[in-house]
Amino acid sequence: MIDSHTHFIPEQVQQWIEENKTLINAKWIKKNEQTTLLSINDKWAFPLNENFTRTQSFTAAYSSFRKALVSPVPQLFLYDQPVDVTSELVQVYNDALVHLKAKDATFEGLATLSLQSPEQAAKELEQAIQQGLKGAIVGPGFGERTLADSFFDPLFEAANATQAVLFVHPLLHSDPRLNHSKLPNLIGVPWETTIAAANLIVQGVLDRYPNITFLLAHGGGFLPYQIGRMSKGFQSWENEFAKLQRTPLEYAASFYYDSVLWDERTLDYLLEIAGKNQVIPGSDFPFELNDWKIDQHKLNQTPSFL
């Protein structure tokens, strides 16, 4: 078995957060006797259970797995901080994941990057690849810029040159219309992935950087399930998409997807659209909304990057 989507906060990162708690406005919120939430800059508080923080607990969960691709926690991207602050945590986090990989061959790692400074992010990615990490986890953009914005070209050039994996993982959507009943997570999270992926297609990023392996979180958001609408638009407005080399469906089938969908019917549809080779087992462990109950035999358990 493998897991392409899991998160961990190494001890070195926890120590850095404690030492810099005032700077990044870190708060530990006691919800009850069993649950403590971690909040960074008053955003996206999440339950800090021992599977996030204790190496023994985290690694024990993967004792029967062949491989697990470990990513930093999105709440710790720190894109809203000054670059020197973000890059300091980037170094600590990435070094800790390199150490985890060295201690247990079950684990591969994805770096975190200073996405708000693509030039700095490119250097961090190159260093991470040299240290043995597979690539990086990145948010869907920065500020009003989606990942397809030319602002991020320095990062994509580095990722293309190193044949890196870029795991596109959303942050919670802040649209006030979703400010009810966990909708920022339930709807906002897959919506952010959809926006990022659609822009990567229509703005030609996949054509310009063919050596990057793009992995989309949570089954690609809503993209695969509205690919018919994109295809119809491609046919109806040919001039708008004349620069593209493939159809929307072909682009959609070039992404890799995790299987974090919680519904076998939805997963089967994704497999039909993208093909078995492009859909990889993932869990989103140890977040509350994780998905272990999948039949891995119908998915690609031997992707070339794991």
Q: Please state the pTM of the whole predicted model.
A: 0.96
The answer to the question of residue 306 being in a domain is no
The number of folded domains in the chain is 1
Q: Is 215 in contact with 258 (CB distance < 8 Å)?
A: yes
The answer to the question of residue 160 being in a domain is yes
Please give the residue range of the domain that contains residue 22: 2-297
Tens of pLDDT along 133-179?
Answer: 999 999 999 999 999 999 999 999 999 999 999 999 998 777 888 88
Pairing mode, strands 165-168 and 135-138: parallel
Q: Is the pLDDT of residue 291 over 80?
A: no
- What are the structure tokens assigned to 165, written together? 């994996």
Q: Where are the alpha helices (DSSP H) in 32-152?
A: 50-53, 55-60, 83-103, 118-130
| pLDDT at residue 173, rounded to an integer | 73
The answer to the question of residue 101 being in a domain is yes
Q: What is the CATH number of the domain that holds 249?
A: 3.20.20.140
**Cross-strand partners of 107:** 68
The answer to the question of residue 75 being in a domain is yes
DSSP conformational letter for 34: S
The answer to the question of residue 27 being in a domain is yes
The answer to the question of residue 105 being in a domain is yes
DSSP conformational letter for 285: B
The answer to the question of residue 165 being in a domain is yes
Q: Is the pLDDT of residue 294 over 80?
A: no
Tens of pLDDT along 3-27?
Answer: 999 999 999 999 999 999 999 999 9
The answer to the question of residue 305 being in a domain is no
Q: Is 18 in contact with 53 (CB distance < 8 Å)?
A: no
Q: Is 184 in contact with 211 (CB distance < 8 Å)?
A: no
